[in-house]
Structure 1
Amino acid sequence: MTTQMASGLAAIATVPAISEADAQIERRLCELATCDSASIWETQDELSSAIAEAGMHFEGRAYPVCLRPLAIDRALVNHLSVTAEVIIKLLDVAAEMYCFNHEMQDLFPSYKHLRHLIACLPKYRPIVTICRLDGLIGIDGYYKIIETNTEGPGGVIQNGLAAKIWSQIPNPLTHGLSLDVTKQPFAKDPNCFVRELVSTFRAASGRELRTAAVVNFRGRYTNEVDWIVDGLRHAGAKAALLDVCEMKRTPRGLVGPDGELIELVYNKLDVREMAEADECRDYLDACAAQEVVSINPWISQWVLSDKAILAVLSDDRFHSNFNAEQIEFIARHVAWTRLVRAGVTTDPERRRIELISYIRQNKANLVLKPSNATRGEHVLVGRLTSSEVWEEHIDRAARKPYVVQEYVRPREITALHPSSRSIKKMAYGIDCYVFGGRLAGFQSRASFDAVMNIGRSGILLPVAID
């Protein structure tokens, strides 16, 4: 951690619960919901139509952007920026640890047979070129990371475009407030994502990019793909969407169906499905051998995106790999996480515990998650789960890769939920997009559900800076 980063963290040690601008928006929405809700829904519908007309969607469904923004101040922006950028540096350390630390490798049993692919690290840094760090602001005022999303996160282009469209709609909730979405790089210039892909290729190869492919598998996870392909073409590259099976490994390198060499691939797929598929072997091997520049590399797709990576960062066993400032940073900004298995470890206060007993006795303060699932699959929040179901999941978790994580209570916000046509309190979080090691922008999701995901009826709040 650089001195600048460390001093920045000290200067903004905690953040207020809510900005003054956001408090004003909250009051206005509550007032208008009572006296003039029709006008609010009319403006919300105008925004939703503009979003749809721009071609934005979530896997064929409406892209659920809310009229009500989350307004954050410069102090919180700085707090989030420093936190996110330091986390990316720590993931570089964790990636290098994985290559030689057998105790760490043991936390990722699902990938044991893939270790020869995963441990082939690229020379460029940061290893994670594109990611979205999901987090919540804890009761202590510190932003805490609860998931890393270092594979191929959604929203890398659409969220910046959505913010710009939102800013162009006359909005009774923000009238008279000086809010700005363009202080986020990906909202000011939605092409910054593609520029990062091109820049990473140049750094890795020393050449200008000529050919690229956005890669998926069996037709899944195609959201935003058209935007990415078009962006690469506008950057001067010959680009296409290709299925893994359409590419072949040759002595010249990875080639597409037309026989032309592919120089860069961006992975938009579920690596869990690929790992056991024989037809993916050529592609897996070519990327691992760095015969093509692959963003993000396999260490990011499997290990660094697995929820157990937070157990690596937050477990005392691995602290010898970090300096004192980094250890202090991790304690503040990484949610306490452990792989669920019998044995002795330390709790969030660093007291020695037997983990399974601790999970049984502290249900209200814990969350159980499959270590490598997506979109909130099978996540259990202890305080919202019956004791019987919790016990069943402890037994299941001890047999399969699950993690247990401290419960970070989300803050609440009043928002419009377009599909249910309701205005209610919802839980929300703030996610940080990081491109090339630098903060690119924010996403805020809100939901009635304890697990915030737009695939589970969640919504997106535009993030504006006051």
Structure 2
Amino acid sequence: MTTQMGPGPAALATGPAISEADAQIERRLCELATCDSASIWEAQDELSSAIAEAGMHFEERAYPVCLRPLAIDWGLANHLSDTAEVMVKLLDVAAELYCCNEDVQALFPSYKHLRHLITCLPQHRPIVRICRLDGLIGDDGYYKIIETNTGGPGGVIQNGIAAKVWSRIPNPLTHGLSLDVDKQPLAKDPNCFVRELVSAYRAATARELRTAAVVNFLGRYKNEVDWIVNGLRDVGVKATLLDIGTMKRTPRGLVGSNGDIIELVYNKLDVRDVIESARCTDYLDACAAQEVVSINPWIAEWVLSDKAILAVLSDDRFSSNFSVEQIEFIARHIPWTRLVRAGVTTDPERQQIELIGYIRENKSNLVLKPSNATRGEHVLVGRVTSSTVWEEHIDRAARSPYVVQEYVRPGEVTALHPPSRSIKKMLCGIDCYVFGGRLAGFQSRASFDAVMNVGRSGILLPVATD
């Protein structure tokens, strides 16, 4: 297992620029915002119209793609790629550790009654075929993975198409710069996501995929479903969107409401919704028994996507289960994370602490997160949270599954925010898509909020290499 172990690439935003091209874009945007903002908004409106005409949306709202890209150099691109690919291999180790270690299982109390489903691991590796690793560049220059998103992440098709559309729009911010999006597989071939689903089925069964379903529940989280279904149909697969409750387990296999066998399923749902629903039993059992190829399996949908998985990796109690190279990787790329509960643990400097007291005394350096929530729900960044609210959430966190994580300073860019028609400084990060264990591409999200999420008025910056 190898990744970049020398000095990290330059840090984002308030530190050094991530590339000279990005610094030029920043200066140019600030200049044009002062003397010729009309030209910028004209180009932004052209981009937004092209995005809409291409059929992209975020749950029936405009897909918020910004004219301003995040330009990264090849040193950083390679660093991100190496880090992301090693992380997916590390998740295989974490999955196997969960299956055999009761102390690890105790970090995931919400899934105790589902353990018989979760521990049925598939034979193929990587276990996680599709994921998006969300992260920030630390002050030391190394990429820090703050969330794993191994359960049906957004942007797997639309972001590649958006990058293609962006690259064709005349752009006053990038004129004269040599920027490329096509070296990212999901931008070069937006169907690479669909091809990975087909490849995963072939790897698991040694057969060609004929039927597939994108699985939804209660009508929620339908973003990109139309693209996925149509993409599968375009490669000759009979694909449909199905509600989880309409599928039945039979001696022939998992079938939909019309009685057709379903060979592969891709989940677009909130796994919290299905945990207690009796309507989901057939589907949960069929996936666990591998009567249908599920992308991703339940251990990825529940455990590996839970924020407590980073507590497994960063806690010294479990370090004996990892190689020396893996421990070095974790130290560089995984922020200190703990499940919130009373008791003694170690702090980021490996000194013994009482955890609740430490959280109370170190607000400015910590973030509190529900362990299995999505879209930034109830996330509190200590340095922008009042002491009163922080204290209230410590009590809540100790009663329900929350994690506390070391704060990593986001990047900062000047960007156009189409929903508010403003040009302002925004916080930003960079995320890595990994399909079949290989980097598929990047996205950058920017927000006025310390919690960056498109569902919370965030925007997307195309990521280009120079």
Counting matched residue pairs gives: 461
Q: Tell me the amino acid that sits aligned with residue 229 of structure 2.
A: V
- Structure 2 runs not aligned, ≥5 long: none
| 1:292 matched residue in structure 2 | 292
Aligned to 1:329: 329
Output the CA distance in 2 between the equivalents of 1:73 and 1:13. Answer: 13
Three-state SS of the structure 2 residue aligned to 1:377 is coil
What is the identity, as a one-letter code, of the residue corresponding to 1:254? L
Give 1:280-429 correspondences, 5 Å limit.
Answer: 280-429=280-429
Shift of 1:11: 4.5
Q: Look up the match of 1:45.
A: 45
Instruction: Report the residue type matching 1:373 in the other structure.
Output: A
- Deviation at residue 12 of structure 1 after TM alignment: 5.5
- Whole-angstrom distance in 2 between the partners of 1:78 and 1:345: 35
Task: Determine if the alignment matches structure 1 residue 177 to structure 2 residue 177.
Answer: yes
Backbone CA RMSD of aligned residues = 0.8
Which secondary structure does the structure 2 equivalent of 1:442 belong to? strand
Alpha-carbon contact 1:340-1:397 (below 8 Å) kept: yes
Offset, 1:229:
0.6
Q: Distance in 1 between matches of 2:423 and 2:336?
A: 33
Separation in 1, partners of 2:148, 2:450: 18
Tell me if structure 2 keeps the 8 A contact 1:211–1:262. yes
Aligned to 2:5: 10
Supply the distance in 1 between the matched residues of 2:9 and 2:40 (Cα, whole angstroms). 34
For 1:25, what is the secondary structure of its paired residue? helix
Match of 2:257 in 1: 257
Q: How much has 1:259 moved relative to structure 2?
A: 1.0
**Partner-residue secondary structure (3-state), 2:77:** helix
Distance in 2 separating the partners of 1:14 and 1:356: 35
The whole-number CA distance in structure 2 between the counterparts of 1:87 and 1:78 is: 14
Following the alignment from structure 1 to structure 2, what is the Cα–Cα distance between the partners of residues 417 and 405?
29
Q: Which secondary structure state, in structure 1, belongs to the residue aligned with residue 395 of structure 2?
A: helix
Give the distance between the partners of 1:82 and 1:348, measured in 2 at CA.
24
Native 8 Å contact 1:12 1:79 kept in 2: no
Q: 2:248 maps to what in 1? A: 248
Specify the code of the residue in structure 2 equivalent to 1:395.
D
CA contact (8 A) 2:7 2:141 kept: no
Q: Which residue of 2 aligns with 1:277?
A: 277
Aligned partner of 2:161 in structure 1 is 161
Q: Which amino acid aligns with 2:221?
A: Y
Partner amino acid, structure 1, of 2:208: E
Distance in structure 2 (CA, Å) of the matches to 1:294 and 1:367: 33
Partner of 2:441: 441
In 2: Cα distance, 1:12 partner to 1:395 partner: 40
CA contact (8 A) 2:433 2:442 kept: yes
How far residue 15 of structure 1 moved from its aligned partner, in angstroms, is 3.1
Displacement, 1:14? 3.6
Letter in 2 for 1:40: I
Letter in 2 for 1:180: D
- 2:40 and 2:172 in contact (8 A); partners too: yes
Task: Flag structure 1 segments of 5+ consecutive residues without an equivalent.
Answer: none
Q: Give the Cα separation in 1 of the matches to 2:222 and 2:397.
A: 31
In the superposition, the TM-score normalised over structure 1's length comes to 0.98
Alignment check: 8 A CA contact 2:8 2:140 kept: no
TM norm structure 2:
0.98
Displacement, 1:13?
3.2
Contact 2:146 2:335 in 1 (8 A): yes
Q: CA deviation at 1:112?
A: 0.2
Corresponding residue SS for 1:31: helix
Could you tell me which amino acid in structure 2 is paired with residue 427 of structure 1? Answer: L
Other-structure match for 1:223? 223
Residues 55-106 of structure 1 show CA distances to partners (whole Å, capped at 9, x for unaligned) of 1000010000000000000000010001100110110000001111000000
Q: CA separation in 1, counterparts of 2:235 and 2:359? A: 51
1:450 aligns with 2:445: no
Partner of 2:73: 73
Question: Distance in 2 between the 1:403 and 1:14 partners?
Answer: 28
Task: Give, in whole Å, the separation in 1 of the partners of 2:305 and 2:207.
Answer: 29
Question: Judging changes above 3 Å, is the alpha-carbon distance between structure 1 residues 311 and 77 closer, same or farther for their aligned structure 2 residues?
Answer: same
Shift of 1:337: 0.4
Task: Give the aligned partner of residue 106 of structure 1.
Answer: 106
Instruction: Provide the residue aligned with 1:138 in structure 2.
Output: 138
Separation in structure 2 between the aligned mates of residue 318 and residue 15 of structure 1, nearest angstrom: 31
Give the secondary structure class of the aligned counterpart of 1:223. coil
SS state of the match for residue 166, structure 1? helix
Q: What residue number does 1:212 align with?
A: 212
Deviation at 1:142, TM superposition (A): 0.8
Q: Deviations over 1:247-305 (max 9, x none)?
A: 11001110111211110000111110011000100000000000000000000000000
The structural deviation recorded for 1:49 is 0.5
Cα separation, 2, equivalents of 1:219 and 1:352: 46
Provide the secondary structure at the position in 1 that maps to 2:144: strand
Q: Work out the CA distance in 1 between the residues paired with 2:333 and 2:100.
A: 26
**Are the equivalent residues in 2 in contact too, given 1:15–1:75 (CA < 8 A)?**
no
3-state SS of paired residue (2:259): coil
How far does residue 351 in structure 1 lie from its aligned partner after superposition? 1.1
Give the secondary structure class of the aligned counterpart of 2:100: coil
The question of whether the paired residues in 2 share the 8 Å contact of 1:12 and 1:75 is answered with no
In 2, the alpha carbon distance for the partners of 1:356 and 1:221 equals 35
Question: Could you tell me how far 1:308 is from its partner in structure 2?
Answer: 0.2
Deviations 1:30-69 (A, max 9, x none): 0000000011101100000000011100001000000000
Q: Distance in 1 between matches of 2:138 and 2:420?
A: 29
Per-residue CA distance 1:345-379 (angstroms, 9 max, x = gap): 11111111111111011000000000000000000
Q: What displacement does 1:131 show?
A: 0.3
Matches of 1:377 and 1:121 in 2, distance apart?
A: 29
Could you tell me how far apart the structure 2 residues matched to 1:90 and 1:195 are?
24
Where 2:420 maps in the other structure, the secondary structure is: coil
Tell me the amino acid that sits aligned with residue 352 of structure 1: Q
CA contact (8 A) 1:85 1:437 kept: yes
SS in 1 for 2:139: coil
Q: Which residue identity is paired with 2:109? A: P
Render the CA deviation track for 1:372-426: whole Å, top value 9, x for unaligned: 0000000001111111111111111000000000010101000000011111100
Write out per-residue CA displacement over residues 226-252 of structure 1, whole angstroms, 9 at most, x where no aligned residue. 111111111111111111112110011
